[in-house]
């Protein structure tokens, strides 16, 4: 049993790592400051690889939207100028790292990825615009942070917060695991799901820079958190431990 648990944990970790981290040494991962300096230069390509819906809601000014999940993604990337510095971002860094790896493997000379995506960009108060070019007030997207805290404090049970997004593959894998644990322990814990796309205020305030992220609260106070994929037994053990 111990061997199986260890093996399962290993594959969870491997899946998450390969899903959300660049595997190409030629791709340079930049923080917000360096990414901002880079895209301010002339003759660069700024690519947003999120969905058109996400792009329309908010994006970095000057970006071109090439959806990594679209059937024509490879064709659109290949149509870009491979000799120009290419800067790529998404919401939290996972999709852009995959896109950056693809571009580097296709012969792009300079490829840069924004670490932790547009979430980190907004957390440092960098400007974003809507689909029509109007500036978006990033401090007021979705529920307020007070609403978030009040929900945590109001529950007599433990609250398991699941930070996720509809495009996030690991989030989809984790969802049924979390639901199963919560259903089995419904007398001890309730689930509170936060879509980071729709609740940028909370995600930014909580400094959520990568997903999936689980945070367990007891009486409004954080008692445990887990980034990435985690197995059912671990979640259930933590729920039982802090429900005492």
- Which residues contact residue 77 at a Cβ distance below 8 angstroms, ignoring those fewer than 6 apart? 47, 66, 99, 102, 103, 106
Is 171 labeled as catalytic in the residue annotation? Answer: yes
* 128, HSE (Cβ side, Cα atoms, 13 Å): 28
What is the per-residue DSSP string for 99-152?
A: HHHHHHHTT-S-EEEETTHHHHHHHTT---B-TTSPBP-GGGSSS-HHHHHHHH
Per the listing, tokens 């003759």 go with 43
- Catalytic annotation, pick one of 20, 100, 168, 181: 168
Is 90 labeled as catalytic in the residue annotation? Answer: no
* Contact (Cβ atoms closer than 8 angstroms) between residue 208 and residue 91: no
Say how far apart CA 124 and CA 120 lie, in whole Å.
6
- Catalytic annotation, pick one of 77, 91, 99, 171: 171
Report DSSP state, residue 181: H
Which residues are catalytically annotated?
A: 168, 171
């Amino acid at each position: 049993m111990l061997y199986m648990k260890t093996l399962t944990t290993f594959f969870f970790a491997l899946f998450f790592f390969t899903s959300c981290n660049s595997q190409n040494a030629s791709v340079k991962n930049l923080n917000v400051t360096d990414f901002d300096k880079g895209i301010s230069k002339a003759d660069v390509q700024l690519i947003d690889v999120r969905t058109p819906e996400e792009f329309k809601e908010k994006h970095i000014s000057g970006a071109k939207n090439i959806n990594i999940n679209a059937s024509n993604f490879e064709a659109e990337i290949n149509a870009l100028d491979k000799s120009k510095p290419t800067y790529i971002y998404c919401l939290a860094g996972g999709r852009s790292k995959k896109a950056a790896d693809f571009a580097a493997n296709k012969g792009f000379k300079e490829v840069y990825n924004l670490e932790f995506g547009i979430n980190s960009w907004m957390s440092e108060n960098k400007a974003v615009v809507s689909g029509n070019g109007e500036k978006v007030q990033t401090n007021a997207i979705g529920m307020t942070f007070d609403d978030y805290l009040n929900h945590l404090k109001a529950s007599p049970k433990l609250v398991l917060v699941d930070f996720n997004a509809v495009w996030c593959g690991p989030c989809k894998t984790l969802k049924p695991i979390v639901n199963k644990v919560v259903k089995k322990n419904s007398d001890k814990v309730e689930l509170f799901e936060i879509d980071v796309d729709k609740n940028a205020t909370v995600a930014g305030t909580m400094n959520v820079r990568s997903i999936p992220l689980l945070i367990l609260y007891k009486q409004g106070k954080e008692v445990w958190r887990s980034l990435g994929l985690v197995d059912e037994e671990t979640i259930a053990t933590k729920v039982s431990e802090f429900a005492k």
